[in-house]
Amino acid sequence: MISEEVSYTMINQLLDGLYLYEITLLILGTLLFLVLIVLLIVKVVTRQPIKVLIPFFIIPILMIGFPGIEQFNFMNGMAELKTKINRAIDEPENEALMAEIQESVERYSARPVRNPQNLIIIGEAYEILDRSDEAKNVANTVLDKQPDFSPAIQLRERIEVNQTVERVQKNPDDQQAKRELEQRVSSFAMTSEPDLRSLLSIARAYNVLGDTSKAEIFADSVTIMRPHIDGRARLRQDSLSPDR
């Protein structure tokens, strides 16, 4: 027996990105199609002509097909957006790619996104575009409904680490910000999944705190995961590493 939670997840995936009128069309079209099937069976059993029913099948097909195409386009677009986000890690200076991500996130975030995985993709796109507050809002929206959803927890904590790094960079004498950053990065380093963005954030945080050895360990981990990315060079590009 399928649990209510699994059923809800399946429904979310099937209807994700659809407006209410599109969901209504889908439901009514499905019901009409079933009614026509029943009528068709009755006519076959009673040996009545069925030709009169055939044209009516066009209506539910169109009603089901329109939202079906929209949902397919949405899911395909979200997969492409995720691919672009991953590319942006390799090509942070690619302005054309950033423009594509900007266009995609504006288009898909305007739709009613319900699936937490798709919401996180949108949040990660905001993060890539340096729209940290919007990314954090997306993570919080997911966590309000699913407090244990690890991708949302990781996204929020990474953003908080990055925002605290920026505070310390703007005011290096802010000891309170430094203590806060030490606490955040220490916790994040122990609990986060080892993805590239998180490793880079941890490396930057340790580097701005002056812990070069830990910064280079995490920067080297980036290079191990993605050999064509020089993690230490990324630190130097951020102007965070001390001159050597």
| Domain count within the chain | 1
* CA angle, residues 186, 82, 203, in degrees to nearest 5: 25
Report pLDDT for 188: 93
* Mean of the per-residue pLDDT values of the chain: 89
The Cα 153–Cα 148 span in angstroms is 7
Check: CB of residue 216 under 8 Å from CB of residue 172.
Answer: no
Report pLDDT for 11: 67
Is residue 149 one of the residues assigned to a domain? Answer: no
Is the pTM above the cut of 0.95? no
What are the tokens at 85?
Answer: 């986000």
What are the tokens at 26?
Answer: 């889908």
Instruction: Name the CA dihedral angle for 113, 115, 116, 122, rounded to a multiple of 10 degrees.
Output: -40
Q: What is the largest CA-CA distance in the chain?
A: 91
Report pLDDT for 211: 92
Report pLDDT for 10: 65
Is residue 122 one of the residues assigned to a domain? Answer: no
What are the tokens at 113?
Answer: 């996104």
Q: What is the pLDDT of residues 52-72, one digit of tens each?
A: 889 999 999 999 999 999 999
Is residue 155 one of the residues assigned to a domain? Answer: no
Is residue 4 one of the residues assigned to a domain? Answer: no
Report pLDDT for 1: 33
The Cα 64–Cα 158 span in angstroms is 41
Is residue 98 one of the residues assigned to a domain? Answer: no
Is residue 21 one of the residues assigned to a domain? Answer: no
Is residue 71 one of the residues assigned to a domain? Answer: no
Which residues form the domain of 205? 168-244
Give the residue ranges of the chain where pLDDT is below 50: 1-7, 240-244
Report pLDDT for 7: 42
The Cα 101–Cα 108 span in angstroms is 11
Is residue 111 one of the residues assigned to a domain? Answer: no
